[in-house]
Chain A
Amino acid sequence: MSPKNKAKFHRWREMPDLWVQCPDCRKMVTKTKVSAMIEVCPKCGYHFEISSRERIDTLLDPGSFCELFADLEPDDPLRFTGRKPYRERLKKAQEDTGLRDACVIGRGRISEIQIVFGVSDSRFMRGSMGSVVGEKICRGVECATAERLPFVFVSGSGGGARMDEGILSLMQMAKTSAALARFQREGGFFISILTNPTMGGAMASFAALGDIVIAEPKALIGFAGPNVVKETMKKELPEGFQTAEFFLEHGFVDLVVSRPDLRAKVAALLAYAR
């Protein structure tokens, strides 16, 4: 270790609360710098995971968010038990996050433009879609249809469809797509924002159906998980496979926008739909 790095290392050791290691470039960066960029690594641009609360606070006008359908709670229709019962896993996720399920929906404003806004929280069972997530998205879309408002949804779901609710979670794909079909048929405007990661059943339904699809840089996006693809192909995957930039290049994403610029960009887009 060079003397310079050694000195740095001692600084980290002495003040562990002030530093964080970027999981992508492995560099140590100060938390204040990261948080000034809305949880983005100042060295490499890696986007840290943020909670639904932080997303609402940083994307919408301050104090404008008014949550809807907050009393929906997950059930356990299959009485599903893997290594641990679904009920136990739900309880733990609820305690860890303070949320009832992985999706928050409500009315809000971006630069004074009224919208219906939703976000899936990837900390809650990897943001997977069960009946509550599907139902909340549908109700949000229906609210936007009735009030003729744009619908903006930020997806973060590594889990895709929630296995613990079996076939009913698969049906949420059809349900949310049907709701968006009706919304868009009636002229509704939907901006879908894909964050790291958006995969499987979430990506293969509502998240892909934006009139405009935006992705955060380097976000993992796709249908099958990289490990499954690797196993199918029996070879290493190329650098940057299934990233936001990859899908931009292949024509499936309209824009890649980094988090500090997101609010302004969404506001600019919404202005066209007034």
Chain B
Amino acid sequence: MMAKEAGGRVVSRTPDFEEPILEIDEKIAELKRFSASTDVNLTEQIQQLTRKSEEMKRRIFAHLTPWQRVLIARHSDRPQATDILDLVAEEFIELHGDRAFRDDPCILTGLARIGGRRCMVVGHRKGKTTREKLACGFGCAHPEGYRKAIQKMRLAAKLGLPVVSFIDTPGAHPGMEAEERGQAFVIALALKEMADLPTPIVCLILGEGGSGGALGIGVGDRILMLEHAYYSVISPEGCAAILWKDSGHAPAAAEALKLTADDLLGLGVIDEILPEPLGGAHRDVAATAETIKGALLRHLGEIGEAKRGDLVARRFDKFRRMGRFLENSER
């Protein structure tokens, strides 16, 4: 079942390709209930169906198109930064406000202890209930959100804490107030601050890596990405609207933009792909969180050994190398 949100963006309750899996899973649940209530032994049938379900997931997920990945990345059940934090952090003290205008709930910031390691967490928040989603602008942050992230990251540097950034946004908010309060200027400042921050930064793209809104908290020493997340300069719908004057061509645009984790690893934009449980992160949030925790601690451990001056210089070199062009070629 698909639904269209404002701006023609497709959000998925359940993507079409996932429906056969859900059907079998429902049958399994039904058989289990029946078996429990009537003492009829259905173990064999249940096992058979479970195998069938696994088989189907494997088949479907082995050949996902870029567009299908976009739909998984936007899945309404996909774990958000708050879900992951609940599972990986022994402690989380949320800190609010940008000390200038207001607290943007769309950007989550706070001090956390993950696997005994203290750090500053920064992330996007999409919200769960309709009320939350509206308050969070469906994951589209305002300038004050980015200013809040900058302010907390500066605090992290002062306290000598590393920054962990969870990215999951369709893009920075494109509204009137956001423009009025300098969306472009504040994102630019965030990029500059992160480039210069004298403390380790590990970024993880959880779901949607929407353009400047994602990059606004996405400059770091390591850029990790969940297997079915996407990261793109423009949404597939936006790209399709420009190229074909029709956002219905989004699947073709998703293909052309090379926005999957595999593509980005190949282009040298990300450092590591974190595998998701079969069927996507939303099918086993605990296992996803476990993978994330392991990867975060490993990377923080590795970067933590670098000297502060070297750290900023290495981060500079990492981004300085990005891009492809030709040189010294005769026209």
Contacts and interface: CB of A to CB of B under 8 A. Distances in A.
Interface residues of B, number: 58
Contacts, number: 203
B-side interface mostly: helix
B324 A209 contact: no
Contacts of B49: none
A179 B239 CA distance: 28
B147 to A, nearest CB: 13
B17 interface: no
A203 B215 CA distance: 14
B182 A250 contact: yes
A178 to B, nearest CB: 4
A74 B325 contact: yes
Given A166-B232, A223-B212, A208 B331 contact: no
Given A161-B233, A173-B212, A77 B179 contact: no
Interface in B255-306: 256-259, 263-264, 267, 269
Given A135-B325, A138-B320, A205-B188, A168 B269 contact: yes
A172 B322 contact: yes
B179 A224 contact: yes
Interface stretch (B68-76, B78-86, B191-199): B191-199
B172 interface: yes
B174 A177 contact: no
Interface of A: 71-75, 77-78, 80-83, 100, 130-132, 134-135, 138, 161, 163, 165-175, 177-182, 185, 199-201, 203-209, 221-224, 228-229, 231-233, 237, 241-242, 246-247, 250-252
Given A77-B267, A177-B192, 19 more contacts: A163-B234, A165-B233, A167-B258, A170-B233, A173-B215, A174-B319, A175-B319, A175-B323, A177-B188, A178-B191, A178-B320, A179-B320, A181-B193, A204-B185, A221-B184, A222-B183, A223-B174, A223-B179, A233-B175
